[in-house]
Amino acid sequence: MDTKTLIKDAKARFSHNSAKAYLKEKYNSKLIIAEQGGLWRADAQTIALLSSLSSQFTETTVLIDTFDNPVQVDIVPLLESLTTLYNNVMTEWYSEWTELENKR
Amino acid sequence: MDRIRKQTVSRGVVVFAFNSSKYNYVEMAEYCARRADQFLDLPTTIITDEESAQTITYDFDNVVIVKSDKSNTREQQVWINKGRYQAYELSPYEETLVLDVDYIINSDKLLKTFDYSDSFCCHNRTEMLMYPEAPQEYLSSYSYNSLWATVIMFKKSDRAKQIFGTLEMVQNNYDHYANIHSFVGGIYRNDYALTLALKIVNGHADVPSDYIPWNLVHVGKNTSVYANEVDSQIPTDGDYWDFNTEFTVMFDHWKNSKMRKEYVTIKDMDFHIMNKDLFEGIMNG
């Protein structure tokens, strides 16, 4: 039996809350990257801090990575990596979210 | 002039599979190995016993035959899950992913684990699909939260050797540890043994880099999962496979004594199925 028939026969309802939770789980894990001896999450806070530091022409800084270790990093390369990762993952996330929203 | 030496490190997947009277674990291992090849581009070594090896049809990178330990039972059936500590000695790879055969690979995400630790990492948190409020599992009310042996990445190193050596010690003294940590010792569980082994090696402290920084996604109780398509071989007896990565997950949502079925479609996401009947349904369509 194919899944469409299964859903119809079971009178199952699409769960938007579960879809949201699944997408969050899936894409949050993709935002993690190992770089310059630390493990980083490409989130708004880290990107904003790096962006702010780079605009002050600072070349290196010390950040606390997701393992809670202080790591000395080169700001610009890390900012570039995190920004690229963030954009790619969020674009995918948005695209799949839009697809699921259309099921409403 | 500086010369750059390109270092090649051998990497691969190791699975343990011992057929029982009820389930064909070798077939599950083959399903897992095909996906490891497709999504991770990694070869797979199977560790099995003489009897189960007779049923192998897949061209594994290595077949390692061991004597199975049949001293564990679950639901009145022999459940051969002991001996996971042998992964360190038996893995032919410098960097290894040890996977449960019922872990469904749908992406290349696991490759990242090789970047996260110099020696060892496993999952310390789970997420139940469609049941986000499910609590984390504890060995007992007085003990640690459970780690998960479903996915283990290790690199040949003194520390990893020590962890697997301690795992063997815990397995051999499982009832003693069950007594100390107040959990039921009758059925041996790799998850609990791994939890204790890692805690002992770390001096009962937490080392964050031992944990994979995302949740292990489970399909748990009251939840069913179905493949939207069946993996197909191209041509029918050929070497190429078209892999399905879309699944429908259904959950029995109970509210005010009434049950309502809800579903969600997931794609390109790895997950672990606890229910072997569901797993066989996915494998065979």
* Residue B263 covered by a domain: yes
User: Percent of chain B at pLDDT above 70?
Assistant: 98
Identify the residue whose tokens are 């360190």.
B88
H or E stretch at A52: helix A44-55
Q: Say if residue B110 is in the same domain as residue B193.
A: yes
pLDDT value at residue B203: 96
Q: Which residues of B touch A10 (CB under 8 A)?
A: 250, 261, 263
Both tokens assigned to B86: 């042998």
Please say if the pLDDT value at position B78 is more than 50. Answer: yes
Mean pLDDT across chain B, nearest whole number? Answer: 91
CA dihedral (B267, B273, B276, B277) in degrees, to 10, reads -50
Decide if A34 touches B, using CB distance below 8 A. Answer: yes
Please say if the pLDDT value at position B27 is more than 90. Answer: yes
Please say if the pLDDT value at position B132 is more than 90. Answer: no
**Side-chain half-sphere CA neighbours of B283 within 13 A:** 24
Q: Say if residue B67 is in the same domain as residue B184.
A: yes
The 10s digit of each residue's pLDDT in B139-176 is 998 889 999 999 999 999 999 999 999 999 999 999 99
Both tokens assigned to B92: 């032919």
Q: Say if residue B203 is in the same domain as residue B225.
A: no
d(C-alpha B110, C-alpha B153), whole Å: 9
Q: Say if residue B154 is in the same domain as residue B266.
A: no
- SS3 sequence of chain B: CCCCCCCCCCEEEEEECCCCCCCCHHHHHHHHHHHHHHHHCCCEEEEECHHHHCCCCCCCCEEEECCCCCCCEECCEECCCCCHHHHHHHCCCCEEEEECCCEECCCCHHHHHHHHCCCEEEECCEEECCCCCCCCCECCCCCCECCEEEEEEEECCHHHHHHHHHHHHHHHCHHHHHHHHCCCCCCCCHHHHHHHHHHHHCCCCCCHHHECCCCEEEECCCEEEEECCCCEEECCCCCEEECCCEEEEEEEEEECCEEEEEEEEEECCCEEECCHHHHHHHHHC
Work out the minimum CA distance from A20 to partner chain B, whole angstroms: 10
- Provide the domain count of chain A: 1
Q: Say if residue B197 is in the same domain as residue B273.
A: no
Report pTM.
0.91
Q: Which residues of A touch B268 (CB under 8 A)?
A: 26
The enclosing domain of B82 has a CATH number of 3.90.550.10
* Residue A8 covered by a domain: no
Please say if the pLDDT value at position B36 is more than 50. Answer: yes
Kindly report the number of other CB atoms within 10 A of residue A51's CB atom. 13
Query: Could you say which of B171, B200, B218 is where a domain stops?
Result: B218
Q: Say if residue B207 is in the same domain as residue B224.
A: no
- Provide the domain count of chain B: 2
C-alpha distances (whole Å) from B237 to each of B41, B96, B234, B241, B261 are: 21, 30, 7, 10, 38
- Sites in chain A below the pLDDT cut of 70: 1, 104
Which residues are CB-neighbours of B237 under 8 A, at least 6 positions away? none
Residues in chain B: 285
d(C-alpha B3, C-alpha B85), whole Å: 40
pLDDT value at residue B3: 44
Contact assignment for A29 to B214 by CB distance below 8 Å: yes
Confidence label for B127 from pLDDT (cuts 50, 70 and 90): very high
Q: Which domain holds residue A62?
A: 24-101
Asked if B142 and B77 touch (Cβ cutoff 8 Å), the reply is: no
Q: Say if residue B174 is in the same domain as residue B66.
A: yes
- Indicate the range of B37-51, B143-157, B215-229 predicted with least confidence: B215-229
Give the closest residue to B266 by CA, choosing from B231, B219, B210, B196.
B219
Contact assignment for A18 to B262 by CB distance below 8 Å: yes
* Residue B3 covered by a domain: no
Mean pLDDT on B209-232: 90
**For residue B260, what is the nearest residue in chain A, using CA coordinates?**
A12
pLDDT value at residue B92: 97
pLDDT value at residue A104: 59
The 10s digit of each residue's pLDDT in A70-94 is 999 999 999 999 999 999 999 999 9
Contact assignment for B269 to A100 by CB distance below 8 Å: no
Confidence label for B6 from pLDDT (cuts 50, 70 and 90): very low
* Residue A16 covered by a domain: no
Decide if B132 touches A, using CB distance below 8 A. Answer: yes
Query: From the candidates B114, B263, B268, B282, which should be mutated to test the interface with A, based on the most A CB atoms within 10 A?
Result: B263
**Side-chain half-sphere CA neighbours of A30 within 13 A:** 21
pLDDT value at residue A1: 65
Contact assignment for B213 to A21 by CB distance below 8 Å: no
- Collapsed DSSP state (helix, strand, coil) of residue A14: strand
Give the A window 61-100 contacts with B, CB below 8 Å: 66-68, 96, 100
pLDDT value at residue B14: 98
pLDDT value at residue A11: 81
* Residue B46 covered by a domain: yes
d(C-alpha B243, C-alpha B95), whole Å: 26
To the nearest 10 degrees (0 to 180), the angle between helices B158-172 and B174-181 is: 80
Q: Say if residue B235 is in the same domain as residue B213.
A: no
Give the closest residue to B275 by CA, choosing from B229, B219, B231, B227.
B219
The 10s digit of each residue's pLDDT in B244-259 is 999 999 998 888 888 8
**For residue A99, what is the nearest residue in chain B, using CA coordinates?**
B265
pLDDT value at residue B72: 77
* Residue B1 covered by a domain: no
Mean pLDDT on B114-125: 94
Q: Which domain holds residue B275?
A: 220-284
What region, left, alpha or beta, does residue B256 occupy, with left being phi > 0 and alpha being psi -120 to 50 degrees?
left
ipTM for the predicted complex: 0.88
